[in-house]
Amino acid sequence: MNALSIPTWVIHVSSVIEWVAAIWLIWLYGEITNQRYWWALSFAMLPALVSAMCACTWHFFDNPSSLDWLVTLQAAMTVLGNVTLMLAGWWIWRRRVVDG
């Protein structure tokens, strides 16, 4: 766990917590406004959360080569997350244009 400094750990962990809170708040917004397409954005955020958790796990165990697969999984989840977020954003934009 010595791979990162304490301030860097604070940033990593708080970012994961903030991302979870954002997912939850976006879900609630979709529920309250009855615009369920916002739920898609919540789901689209999950691969990025998995990516962040991969990074934290890898660093927690001091970046061992036996966990190099986590780096690959993190990269894949980042790409998938970027694509899903783009699609969810497009869907929200499209619904807003259609709904007026």
Q: Is the pLDDT of residue 99 over 80?
A: no
| pLDDT for res 100 | 66
Q: For residue 77, is it within any domain? A: yes
Q: Report pLDDT digits (tens) over 30-87.
A: 999 999 899 999 999 999 999 999 999 999 999 999 999 999 999 999 999 999 999 9
C-alpha to C-alpha distance for 2 and 89, rounded to whole angstroms:
38
| pLDDT for res 2 | 73
How many other β-carbons are positioned within 10 Å of the β-carbon of residue 48? 18
User: CA 11, 65, 7 angle in degrees (round to 5)?
Assistant: 15
Which band of pLDDT confidence, cut at 50, 70 and 90, is reported for residue 1? low
Place of tokens 């970027």: 82
Which band of pLDDT confidence, cut at 50, 70 and 90, is reported for residue 28? very high
Q: For residue 26, is it within any domain? A: yes
Q: For residue 42, is it within any domain? A: yes
80 Cβ partners below 8 Å, 6+ apart?
47
Q: For residue 45, is it within any domain? A: yes
Q: For residue 1, is it within any domain? A: no
35 near 91, Cβ under 8 Å?
no
Place of tokens 């499209």: 94
Q: For residue 14, is it within any domain? A: yes
| pLDDT for res 21 | 98
Q: What would the two tokens of residue 90 be?
A: 């497009």
The domain in which residue 64 lies consists of 6-99
| pLDDT for res 29 | 97
Q: For residue 91, is it within any domain? A: yes
Q: How many domains does the chain have?
A: 1
| Mean of pLDDT values over 17-24 | 98
